[in-house]
Amino acid sequence: MENLGYEKIDPKIIDGNLIKLISDDWMLVTAGNEEKFNTMTANWGGVGYLWNRPVAFVFIRPERYTFEFVEKYENFTLTFFDEKYRKALNICGTKSGRDCNKVAEASLTPCFTDSGNPAFTEAGLVIECKKLYAGMLSEEFFLDRDIFDTVYGKKGNVHKLYIAEMTGVWKKTNL
């Protein structure tokens, strides 16, 4: 990543408000390897500290093509972009990698971490994650029934939660 203009940083010094970054600016969740990977836009998730390590957590519906990759591979990445890539994130959040080459349609350039995990050179921030815990959300554990009814009631599958250790964080140095 260093040869692509990134510097490795401590997760504790990530710039900006992560709630805003995730909810408003959105992120890409990407998993796979150099031969085959898939990416999708997400804006539900978070970061924190759990089991004595920095973690990120994401929620992915099983019908997403990206789900297959996140399930199969031990790692995934979260990538964050400047506003000028909003159109690219819209494409990755509305089209499926099952039907098209959305990375090409979004004009994103794949790159790979030293461990071989896919990211994009346009990202200002890359967070590499190693899965620690995965589990489907379950209707019976919702304490606020309205949330379940509104988000999942008639709309099909619940999300699967992934909690993952941040194993590497890189920031673009020329921003």
Ligand X SMILES: Cc1cc2nc3c(=O)[nH]c(=O)nc-3n(C[C@H](O)[C@H](O)[C@H](O)COP(=O)(O)O)c2cc1C
Which residues bind to ligand X, rule: CB under 6 A?
Answer: 26, 38, 40-44, 59-61, 64-66, 93-98
- Closest-CB residue for ligand X? 93
CB of 80 to ligand X, least distance (A): 13
**Widest CA span in the chain:** 49
* 1 or 40: CB nearest ligand X: 40
160-172 and 6-8: which strand pairing?
antiparallel
Q: Which of 59, 148 has the CB closer to ligand X?
A: 59
Residue 97 or 124 with smaller CB distance to ligand X: 97
Question: How many helices and strands (H and E) does the chain possess?
Answer: 5, 10
In the complex, least distance from residue 8 CB atom to ligand X, rounded to whole angstroms: 26
Q: Count other Cβ atoms within 10 Å, centred on residue 138.
A: 9
Q: State the nearest-atom distance from the C-beta of 172 to ligand X, in Å.
A: 22
Which residue number, 103 or 169, has a Cβ lying nearer to ligand X?
A: 103
Q: In the 8-state DSSP scheme, what is residue 159?
A: P
Q: b/e string for 82-110 if b means 16 or more Cβ within 10 A?
A: eeebeebbebbbebebeeeebbeebebee
Element (H, E) at 166: strand 160-172
Minimum gap (Å) between residue 60 Cβ and ligand X: 4
Q: How far is the CB of 58 from ligand X (least distance, A)?
A: 6
Nearer to ligand X, 1 or 58 (CB): 58
